[in-house]
Amino acid sequence: MIHTSYDPLTGLEAPEEPAGPSAVPGQATRERILDAAERLFAEHGFAGTSHRQITAEARVNLAAVNYHFGSKEALFLEVVRRRLEPVNRRRVEMLDEAERRGGAARLEDVARAFVEPVVAARMEGGELGVLPKLMARVVGEPGGWAERLLPVVFAGVAARFLATLERAMPEVKREDLLWGLVFSAGVLSHYLLLGDLIRRAAGGAPEAEGAGGETVERMVRYIAAGLKALRGAGGGGAAKPTRTGKSGRGRKKA
């Protein structure tokens, strides 16, 4: 006999998940829903994907989707979170390693921690193969999904990167460092969305397993150079204009 419980979030009766070792089937159902939703959201976007499509793709009923996630919005968030949380954990580990070497982290190490876990995950078994499409949907989807999702997914790791940069460049304003992180994310986003296209345009084949090292080093050099340039932005690092006399021309140096 299948027991049900009342779910106050959805107002529906949902099947109770078994406890203990027998809970594996329930977890398998949850993962199957996530896999199906991920493919559909990446292909059609949030608005273009219906509950009916998700349940058909995952071979479950609507009660199972509501039981595990409560709403399509919560399911979309979990789809994005599931792919990015392992990457963000590795990023923090790499930052910790860089700072344990003594003193402030090198900017090249900060840049490498930012991009390498993404490239590595994409190289390993294609797990992130759907992520470029999914993130493009997040950014371009009507309804302000970028503003709703990205702070939830990236807020913690962004704060960690900001703290590391503040220790590495204490003379740079916090606002400039935040912009540096935004621009760094832009570099990585363009790699995800256009990397293979660029390689083909340059006469090479699409990126294959093992080619990630070259890609990482390109991005590391570019991002680190941009971060270093922040030292001359705003505050006391900017060049002051030369004072002019009545004639409007700058004073001659002695």
Phi, psi angle pair for 211, to nearest 5°: -90, 0
Summarised one tens digit per residue, pLDDT across range 161-200 is: 999 999 999 999 999 999 999 999 889 888 877 766 776 7
**What is the chain's Cα-based Rg?**
24
DSSP assignments along 173-225, one per residue = -HHHHHHHHHHHHHHHHHHHHHHHHHHHHTTPPSP-TT-HHHHHHHHHHHHHH
Going by pLDDT thresholds of 50, 70 and 90, the confidence category of residue 129 is low
* Tens digits of residue pLDDT in 221-249: 999 999 999 998 664 444 444 444 444 44
Which domains, ranges and CATH numbers included, belong to the chain?
8-16+24-69 (1.10.10.60), 83-231 (1.10.357.10)
* pTM passes above 0.85: no
Supply the DSSP string of 24-72, one letter for each residue.
HHHHHHHHHHHHHHHHHHHHHTTTT--HHHHHHHHT--HHHHHHHHSSH
By the 8 A CB rule, do 110 and 95 touch? yes
Structure confidence at residue 153 (pLDDT): 82
CA geometry: angle 203, 208, 211, nearest 5 deg: 85
Q: Binning pLDDT at 50, 70 and 90, where does residue 21 land?
A: very low
d(CA 110, CA 165): 8
Mean residue pLDDT of the chain comes to 78
What CA–CA distance (Å, rounded) separates 187 from 220?
Answer: 10
Q: Which residue has the higher pLDDT, 206 or 171?
A: 171
What does the pLDDT read at residue 251? 46
What CA–CA distance (Å, rounded) separates 100 from 95? 9
- Helix-helix angle 145-168:131-140, to 10 degrees: 110
